[in-house]
Chains A and B, each alone.
Chain A
Amino acid sequence: MSDNERITSLLESAKRTRQELGEELHDSLMESLYGEAARIADIVVSRPERKQRFDLDRMVDRFVTSKWTGFPLMFVLLALVFWITIIGANIPSEYISKFLIDGGRPFLKHLSAIVHLPGWLDGVLIDGAYLSAAWVIAVMLPPMAIFFPMFTLLEDFGYLPRVAFNMDALFRKAGAHGKQALTMTMGFGCNAAGVVATRIIDSPRERLIAIITNNFALCNGRWPTQILIASIFLGSVVPAQFAGMATAAGVVFIALLGVALSLIISWGLSRSVLKGEASAFSLELPPYRPPRILQTLYTSLIDRTLFVLWRAIVFALPAGIVIWLVANVTISGTSLAEYFIHATNPFAVFLGLNGVILLAYVIAIPANEIVIPTVLMLTVLTSGLHGVGSGTGVLFAMDNTAAVANILHAGGWTPLTGLCLMLFSLIHNPCSTTIYTIYKETGSTKWTTLATLLPLILGFVVCFAVALIWRAF
């Protein structure tokens, strides 16, 4: 008998025995496992004689996961975290941009003059690569350094599984897996990480739903865009003392809209291409643990803030070069950027956006983080603003929100443009890293294409509808 035959006969005999034994085997194995576990635990574990009269964990849980107080508490916590981020990030942002842009750029220009760098190289390196990287640091570092530690503290404390617990019923009604609440929460940090996190979902059907809808969790690359645009178009229409709160409320609204969309799309998918019943699962609510403040600060700074910032810088450097080039390479007197913007502007305005925003989203496919710098630079370029920043094709410093507001208003922005940009920033194709991760996790071009195009088309539709309604009134 050959090896192969012997193995086949081995498997055959296993199969025969299996049929003889039937279902009994699994059940009795499980029974003996659980029985043994209970027996050992009984010998080894000693519990207090009397049940404690007051169990703090249970008390907190009753409040945090209650039908009535659970959701409001979630909103309040979310809003509070954003409010602190928005209020706290303003001043350091200003200092960093003063240092890196007002200070760093002239210094580098000076150096390049000393070594007689050719004009185009000076432009590509300093006005393109350096400035876009500097801008990304100034805009992203302070909010992230505040947001991530707070988020990590909540995570360390044990709040995330409670959020999942609260959301579970909603996801189940949408035909999705309750654990999708957890992967979505991961997506609030980074969608690529959220997509990888869907591995905790057993059923392939529900896992695909979680992957496709993860993009609707607003990732940290998009928080700064939301915060900035909300401060300009929401914060400035209310009295100054409420500006922070109005901005936070606007951002929370967009984030919640993302959650709602993720539920709606899940519902749609589970009733069309990904039909099926939601599977049950058990979610363990871990005990609350006092967060370790210092350790949390350290790990969230190293793991998240610096990691994300580094990624942003890596993408901002080449993007800065591309921006400088499209703004400065001209064909018969008109730059490439202007060609694109003029060609797409009618379509974009129809959607409540403009050509600048569309071009920015094309350039920023590798990383959402650089959308705002790109938008500002292109706006200056096409609206022919002078005396702002440093002229054509140069990303400039944002000293304060008001300066940015002035530029955007000069570029013909209306509150509708701001609103549609916030919506489009939430609803558009995932960044290239996430697309690649989706491909790696699903191994399917079909699902990757769907996950990429579905939000993009939806974004166009939503912006168009909002613009239509806006103009009707």
Chain B
Amino acid sequence: MEKGTENTAAAACETCPLNRQASLVKLGISMDDVDFVIALAGNPNTGKSTVFNSLTGLHQHTGNWPGKTVTRAEGAYSYNEKKYKIVDLPGTYSLLSTSVDEEVARDFILFGQPDVTVIVTEATRLERNLNLLLQVLEITDRAVVCVNLIDEARRHHIGVDDRALARELGVPVVLTAARQGEGIPELLQNIHQVATGEFVCKPQRLKSVPTKLMRAAEELSGKILEQFPGLPNARWVAFRLLEGDQRMIDAVRTGELAALMRSQVTTHE
């Protein structure tokens, strides 16, 4: 009798949606037939590689200094019977700059079209991190925010209200301490929900832009959409063109942007 209950209890645990980490299988670098592609973005030294390692079981070198990852690392895991490829991007302070490592990150978020972009931020420096976070949310609809190093914040008696942050940003927010594995199950769950469309993000877009600029951007993004119907981040492209971003001008001219849309049509149909 007792043994019976034990068995059912164990079985129940395995199927219970609360036991989320149970369905995580770290796949290392085997990346065949993935269902979803996840990008890990964020400021330097927020622990992206640590999050990457705890999801994939890989041992990407981590170090406590900004600029450690300069190329992207890729790994995979499977969760709830879906296979995920995860790409660890170099840390950036902004998507508007020009150094090689920052370009790697920006090109991937924009042109690589990840299914979910996970933005890793540091709890003790949230305000500074929000700068990049808001820029990423301008580009993509599907994002999960990971407020990492929450243990560090506790040590300094800094509180982060995850619910308020999620409300403000319109995307899921998870508090983690990746080094200790805290919050990783919740992160997995949220990535899964956004990737499968169970949760639909409604990211906040910049509102405080002067009306004149806003109108100019909207007019231009209308034209862009005429030329590239279905482009998910036309407004951002418009802003970049208005700023005279050479990389973006080239992408429009050479048809890189058009190719991007085609690939999207084929993968999503």
A75–chain B nearest beta-carbon distance, Å: 20
From A3-11, A109-117, A121-129, give the one contacting chain B. A3-11
Residues from chain B with a CB closer than 8 A to the CB of A332 are none
Asked if B223 is an interface residue, CB under 8 A from chain A, the answer is yes
Instruction: Indicate if B160 sits at the interface (CB-CB under 8 A).
Output: yes
B157, B206, B253: the one within 8 Å of A48 (CB): B157
For residue A299, CB closer than 8 A to chain B, the reply is: yes
Does B126 lie within 8 Å of A41, measured CB to CB? yes
| Cα distance A48–B158 in the bound complex, in angstroms | 6
From A47, A160, A182, A197, B158 is in contact (CB under 8 Å) with: A47
- B169-196 interface code vs A (CB 8 A; 1 in, 0 out): 1000000000100000000000000000
**Is residue A21 contacting chain B, with contact meaning CB distance below 8 A?**
yes
Chain B residues closer than 8 Å to A292, beta-carbon distance: 179
Residues in A with CB closer than 8 Å to B63 are 152, 155-156, 160
CB of B159 within 8 A of CB of A45, answer yes
Q: Does A34 contact B (CB under 8 A)?
A: yes
Chain A 265-299, CB within 8 Å of chain B: the 1/0 string?
Answer: 00000000000000000011011010010000011
Interface positions of A from 379 to 400, Cβ below 8 Å from B: none
> Does A201 lie at the interface of the complex (its beta carbon under 8 Å from any beta carbon of B)?
yes
CA distance A289 to B70 in the complex (A): 22
- Within the complex, the shortest CB–CB distance from B253 to chain A, in Å, comes to 6
Interface size on B, residues (CB 8 A): 61
A43: B residues at CB distance < 8 A:
161, 164, 168
Separation in Å of the B215 CB from the closest CB of chain A?
A: 10
**Within 8 Å of chain B (Cβ to Cβ): is A13?**
yes
Report whether A287 and B124 are in contact in the complex, using a CB–CB cutoff of 8 Å.
yes
Asked if residues B134 and A37 are in contact (CB atoms below 8 Å), the reply is yes
- A161 contacts the other chain (CB 8 A): yes
Q: How far is the CA of A152 from the CA of B64 in the complex (A)?
A: 9
Q: Which residues of A contact B12 (CB under 8 A)?
A: none
Interface residues in B224-269 by Cβ distance below 8 A to A read 224, 227, 238-239, 241-244, 249, 252-253
The answer to whether A286 and B165 touch across the interface, beta carbons within 8 angstroms, is no
Query: Is A14 an interface position by the 8 A CB rule?
Result: yes
Complex CA distance for A459 and B238, rounded to whole angstroms: 54
**Cβ A18 vs Cβ B227 within 8 A:** no
A44, B126: Cβ atoms closer than 8 Å: yes
- How far apart sit A156 and B242, CA to CA, in the bound complex (Å)? 42
Stretch at the interface among A22-30, A253-261, A321-329, A430-438: A22-30
Is A170's CB within 8 Å of the partner chain B? no
Nearest CB on B from A177, distance (A): 10
Interface residue from A26, A35, A287 paired with B208 (Cβ < 8 Å): A35
A200 within 8 A of B: yes
> Whole-angstrom distance from the CB of B124 to the nearest CB of chain A?
7
One digit per residue, 1 when the CB lies within 8 angstroms of any chain A CB and 0 when it does not, for chain B 126-160 equals: 11101101110000000000000000100011111
Name the prevailing secondary structure of the A interface residues: helix
| Choice from B159, B179, B220, B253 contacting A17 with Cβ under 8 Å | B220
Q: Does any Cβ of B come within 8 Å of A104's Cβ? A: no
Q: How far is the CB of A166 from chain B (nearest CB, A)?
A: 14
B45 in contact (CB, < 8 A): yes
Q: Is A444 an interface residue (CB 8 A)?
A: no
CB distance from A107 to the nearest CB of B (A): 35
Residues 202-225 (chain B) with a chain A CB within 8 angstroms:
206-210, 212-213, 216, 219-220, 223-224
Query: Of residues 49 to 101 in B, which have CB atoms within 8 Å of A's CB atoms?
Result: 59, 61-67, 70-71, 90, 97-101
B161 A196 Cβ-Cβ under 8 A = no
Asked whether, in the complex, the Cβ of A29 is within 8 Å of the Cβ of B239, the reply is: yes
Q: B44 an interface residue at 8 Å Cβ cutoff?
A: yes
The reply to whether B152 and A200 form a contact with Cβ atoms under 8 Å apart is no
State whether B243 touches A47 (Cβ < 8 A): no
CA distance A154 to B212 in the complex (A): 52
Most A-side CB within 10 Å, residue of B62, B126, B128: B62
Q: Given A17-B220, A202-B99, A299-B61, A24–B213 Cβ distance below 8 Å?
A: yes
Residues of B within 8 Å of A41, CB to CB, are: 126-127, 130
Q: Given the complex of chains A and B, what is the CA–CA distance between A48 and B207 in angstroms?
A: 30
CB atoms of B243 and A299 under 8 A apart: no
Closest to A28 in B: B210
A45 touches B127 (CB 8 A): yes
Verify B65–A160 contact, CB threshold 8 A.
yes
Which residues of chain A come closer than 8 Å to B65, judged between CB atoms?
155, 158, 160-161, 164, 182, 286
Task: Check A17–B66 contact: CB distance below 8 A.
Answer: no
Residues of A within 8 A of B135 (CB): 33
Which residues of B lie under 8 Å from residue A34 when comparing CB positions? 131
B76 to chain A, nearest CB (A): 19
A52 at the interface (CB under 8 A from B): yes
Chain A residues with CB under 8 A of B64: 155-158, 160-161, 286, 289
Which residues of chain A are within 8 angstroms of B159 by Cβ–Cβ distance? 45-47
A241 at interface, CB cutoff 8 A:
no
Give the residue name and chain of the A residue nearest to B101 (CB): A199
Residue from A6, A161, A201, A303 in contact with B59 in the complex, judged by beta carbons closer than 8 Å: A303
A35 to B160, CA, bound (A): 19
A3 to B226, CA, bound (A): 11
CA distance A255 to B70 in the complex (A): 26
**Separation of A21 and B210 alpha carbons in the complex (Å):** 11
Is the CB of A469 closer than 8 A to any CB of chain B?
Answer: no
In the bound complex, residues from chain B placing their C-beta under 8 Å from that of A40 are 130, 165, 168-169
Given contacts A11-B252, A287-B152, contact A199 B161 (CB under 8 A): no
Q: Which residue of A lies closest to B219 (CB)?
A: A17
CA–CA, A472 and B85, complex, Å: 66
- A36 to chain B: which residues have CB within 8 Å? 130, 134, 206-208
User: Shortest 6 CB-CB distances between A and B: which pairs?
Assistant: A37-B130, A41-B127, A202-B99, A200-B67, A46-B159, A14-B241
Residues of chain A touching chain B, judged by Cβ–Cβ distance below 8 Å, are 3, 6-8, 10-11, 13-15, 17-18, 20-21, 24-26, 28-29, 31-38, 40-41, 43-48, 52, 152, 155-158, 160-161, 164, 179, 182, 196-197, 199-202, 283-284, 286-287, 289, 292, 298-299, 302-303
8 A-B residue pairs with Cβ-Cβ distance under 8 Å, sorted by A, are: A10-B223, A18-B242, A20-B216, A25-B213, A44-B164, A46-B161, A47-B157, A161-B64
